[in-house]
């Protein structure tokens, strides 16, 4: 009987597995078929820019990948910018339609896409934008368009930037889980959330100045795109002059209110289509397959572009984590390749492990002896992100980049109060005077605190020396811009923390100039697994992302944000060179 039961279970299991494989085969065949059709674009087409997935600087898809749109969780900024550049010269593409986005991108990423669209317009081709609603960042992107349209019952959010910082002092007292904090003496704002329940005046001032600078950059771009003075744009924001469609149109934020079928009619009219002719649109994901097959830079000599994105953590690293393993491997490979004449390091990171930052910094120093190293900063290149940038031959940042935050700290979790509440007592035994240095279950001793404080101070001094050497300034000058203070790209340029305001393409051009290259190709590093490969690894199990999404759905987005930030602090190891707090700018 057991034999028959086991045999039946085996047969059913095989059938289920065969069925899953067969369904996946059909999906892949369908995708491949649709991909083959999508890359054959009809004449007189409109590129539809729908940015409906999270945007990262780089996904690792260096080759044409027909499955990227299905299995990649994010869109690559590099691919988006390349697609727009190729579309500019593509005779089949007559214009771009920016359609109803809910942008999951950073401000500097948005600014970079906007700049690419502005360049696209120099071809004489049109850009139109349509949305059922515009969030503030969406509108910032749409304002580059020749015409901006909004659903007649839609909404336009235009009120200025704000930022929210979460504080955990009461939470620690209520749970009995405490974060012991060790910081450089003047580096106060870094750990405020664990020491206080409210924002200090100094921290409030620096955040206000930061978001004020970011807003000024946005306003300057919108002013040019919509032909409205910055003064009037600020009045519109202060009076909520875009809160209704009538107000938005009267204030000049939009050109008209249209239903989507009326918007399509506008596109048809611009393309001079007859009534019996179809409106040909091509989605960005489909067009990326075509554009990825075309190179914007060609030459025997190469410039390497190495993408460092995510938190800095000791170890191998990956698509969303900067580790010394994968980044240094890329740097060494580019350094030892004779065809590669210069390196551009693209950094998008709030920082993290000070040790890992210094290990990467050293590899950059060794590389500079053989070929130029240029840094391009993305949305954020702060603290550890600035650490690894500081030694480059030249540093570029977007006006809306968040950088600086030169400072270090350490946090050590302590659960003594919680342990007492639930009846846990821990006893320690050691062989030497310092063998039992710290326990989660005991208060931190003055001796151990001093040891950690000495480590923090030493790391801070090392950080300052790296900045001073890289920027050719004195230690005291570096210290005056440090103390954990965050700066916009505009302010960083004024202070000398960066060399130029510009995007990744500007940094690549500078690398070519320093290498005396007229023609060159681009090689991108590191090499990641494709979205399909990661999907197959997760197949049959539950991915980390799925688990995170389940928790967020169960406890709510706001509670999950608190949980994630607190969990991150509990898991930090070693002295940290990271952003002083999570900035939620909206």
Convert the pLDDT of each residue in 177-221 to its tens digit.
Answer: 888 888 875 655 667 888 888 888 888 888 999 999 999 999 999
Per-residue pLDDT, 190: 67
Q: Quick one: tokens of 393?
A: 């031959």
**In the predicted structure, residue 81 carries a pLDDT above the cut 70:** yes
Please give the Cα distance from 397 to 158 (Å, whole number): 25
Q: What share of the chain has pLDDT > 70, as a percent? A: 81
Secondary structure in 3-state letters for 211-265 = HHHHHHHHHHHHHHHHCCCHHHHHHHHHCCCCCCHHHHHHCCCCCEECCHHHHHH
pTM: 0.85
Q: What DSSP assignment string belongs to 289-328?
A: HHHHTS-S---SSEEEEEEEESEE-SSS-BTTEE-HHHHH
Q: What share of the chain has pLDDT > 90, as a percent? A: 59
Please give the Cα distance from 67 to 80 (Å, whole number): 16
Per-residue pLDDT, 192: 84
Q: What is the mean pLDDT of the chain?
A: 86
- What pLDDT digit, counting tens, does each position of 337-367 carry? 999 999 999 999 999 999 999 999 999 999 9
Per-residue pLDDT, 344: 98
Per-residue pLDDT, 38: 45
Per-residue pLDDT, 15: 58
Per-residue pLDDT, 72: 61
Q: What is the average pLDDT across 402-415?
A: 89
Q: Quick one: tokens of 122?
A: 């120099």
Residue 38, C-beta contacts closer than 8 angstroms, at least 6 positions apart? 282, 283, 286, 287, 289, 290
Count H helices, E strands: the chain?
23, 24
- What pLDDT digit, counting tens, does each position of 232-268 carry? 999 999 999 999 999 999 999 999 999 999 999 999 9
Query: Do 306 and 330 touch, CB atoms closer than 8 A?
Result: yes
Active site residues: 188, 383
Among 189, 115, 76, 183, smallest CA distance to 398 is for 115
- What pLDDT digit, counting tens, does each position of 110-119 carry? 999 999 999 9
Per-residue pLDDT, 191: 78
Rounded to a whole number of angstroms, the CA Rg of the chain reads: 26
Please give the Cα distance from 104 to 209 (Å, whole number): 24
Q: Exposure of 16 by Cβ count < 10 A (0-12 exposed, 13-18 middle, 19+ buried)?
A: exposed
Among 586, 582, 585, 543, smallest CA distance to 561 is for 582
Per-residue pLDDT, 553: 59
Phi-psi label, residue 310: left if phi above 0, alpha if psi -120 to 50, beta otherwise? left
Kindly provide the b/e burial profile for residues 189-215, where b requires at least 16 CB atoms within 10 angstroms of the residue's own CB. Answer: bbbbbbbeeebeeebeebbeebbebbb
E-strand stretches of 42-159: 45-49, 55-56, 75-76, 93-99, 126-134, 147-156
More confident residue, 567 or 229: 229
Please give the Cα distance from 259 to 279 (Å, whole number): 17
Per-residue pLDDT, 62: 54
- What pLDDT digit, counting tens, does each position of 128-165 carry? 999 999 999 999 999 999 999 999 999 999 999 999 88
By DSSP bridging, strand 409-414 and strand 351-353 are unpaired
Per-residue pLDDT, 434: 81
Q: Quick one: tokens of 272?
A: 């001079």
| Ordered structural domains, the chain, with CATH | 37-159+240-292 (3.90.226.10), 304-516+575-585 (3.90.226.10)
- What pLDDT digit, counting tens, does each position of 303-325 carry? 999 999 999 999 999 989 999 99
Per-residue pLDDT, 552: 57
pLDDT level of residue 431 (50, 70, 90 thresholds): confident
Residue 514, C-beta contacts closer than 8 angstroms, at least 6 positions apart? 342, 372, 374, 393, 394
Per-residue pLDDT, 37: 44
For residue 97, the cross-strand partners are 48, 128
Query: Do 368 and 477 touch, CB atoms closer than 8 A?
Result: no
Residue 278, C-beta contacts closer than 8 angstroms, at least 6 positions apart? none
More confident residue, 296 or 583: 296
Per-residue pLDDT, 36: 43
Please give the Cα distance from 364 to 324 (Å, whole number): 12
- What pLDDT digit, counting tens, does each position of 510-566 carry? 999 999 999 999 999 998 765 555 555 554 454 555 555 555 555 555 555 555 555
């Amino acid at each position: 009987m057991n034999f028959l039961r086991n045999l039946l279970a085996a047969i059913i299991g095989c059938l289920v597995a065969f069925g899953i494989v067969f369904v996946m085969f059909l999906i892949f065949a369908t995708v491949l078929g649709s991909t083959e059709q999508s890359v054959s674009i009809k004449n007189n087409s409109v590129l539809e820019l729908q940015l409906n997935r999270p945007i990262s600087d780089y996904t690792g898809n260096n080759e044409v990948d027909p499955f990227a749109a299905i299995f990649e969780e994010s869109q690559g900024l590099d691919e988006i910018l390349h697609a727009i550049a190729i579309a500019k010269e593509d005779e089949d593409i007559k214009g771009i339609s920016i359609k109803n986005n809910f942008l999951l991108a950073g401000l500097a990423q948005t600014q970079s896409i906007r700049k690419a669209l502005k360049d696209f317009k120099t071809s004489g081709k049109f850009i139109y934008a349509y949305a059922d609603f515009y969030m503030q960042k969406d509108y910032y992107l749409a304002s580059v368009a020749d015409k901006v349209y909004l659903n007649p019952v839609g909404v336009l959010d235009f009120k200025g930037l704000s930022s929210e910082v979460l504080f955990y002092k009461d939470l620690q007292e209520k749970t009995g889980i405490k974060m012991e904090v060790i910081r450089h003496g003047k580096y106060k704002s870094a750990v405020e959330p664990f020491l206080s329940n409210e924002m200090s005046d100094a921290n409030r001032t620096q955040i206000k100045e930061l978001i004020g600078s970011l807003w000024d950059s946005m306003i300057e771009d919108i002013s040019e795109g919509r032909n409205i003075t910055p003064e009037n744009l600020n009045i519109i924001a202060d009076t909520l002059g875009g809160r209704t469609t009538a107000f938005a149109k009267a204030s000049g934020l939009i050109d008209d209110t249209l239903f989507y079928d009326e918007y399509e009619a506008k596109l048809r009219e611009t393309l001079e289509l007859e009534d019996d002719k179809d409106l040909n649109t091509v989605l960005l994901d489909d067009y990326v397959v075509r554009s990825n097959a075309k190179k914007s830079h060609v030459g025997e000599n190469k410039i390497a572009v190495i993408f460092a994105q995510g938190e800095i953590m000791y170890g191998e690293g990956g698509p969303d984590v900067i580790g010394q393993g994968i980044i240094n491997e890329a740097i060494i490979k580019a350094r030892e390749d004779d065809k590669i004449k210069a390196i551009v390091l693209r950094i998008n990171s709030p920082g993290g492990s000070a040790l890992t930052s210094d290990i990467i910094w050293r590899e950059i120093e060794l590389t500079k002896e053989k070929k130029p190293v240029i840094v391009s900063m993305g949305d954020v290149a702060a603290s550890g992100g600035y650490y690894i940038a500081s030694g480059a031959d030249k540093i570029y940042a977007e006006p809306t980049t968040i950088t600086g935050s030169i400072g270090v700290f350490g946090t050590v979790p302590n659960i003594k109060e919680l342990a007492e509440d639930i009846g846990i007592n821990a006893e320690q035994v050691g062989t030497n005077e310092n063998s039992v240095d710290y326990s989660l279950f005991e208060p931190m001793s003055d001796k151990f605190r001093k040891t950690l404080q000495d480590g923090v101070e030493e790391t801070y001094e090392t950080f300052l020396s790296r900045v001073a050497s890289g920027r050719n300034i004195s230690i005291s000058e570096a210290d005056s811009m440090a103390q954990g203070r965050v700066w916009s790209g505009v302010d960083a340029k004024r202070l000398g923390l960066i060399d130029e305001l510009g995007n990744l393409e500007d940094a690549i051009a500078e690398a070519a100039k320093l290498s005396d290259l007229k023609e060159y190709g681009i090689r991108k590093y590191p090499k990641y697994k494709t979205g399909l490969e990661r999907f197959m690894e997760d197949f049959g199990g539950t991915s980390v992302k799925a688990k995170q999404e389940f928790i967020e759905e169960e406890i709510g987005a706001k509670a999950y944000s608190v949980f994630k930030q607190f969990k991150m602090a509990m898991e930090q190891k070693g002295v940290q060179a990271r952003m002083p707090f999570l900035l939620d700018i909206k």
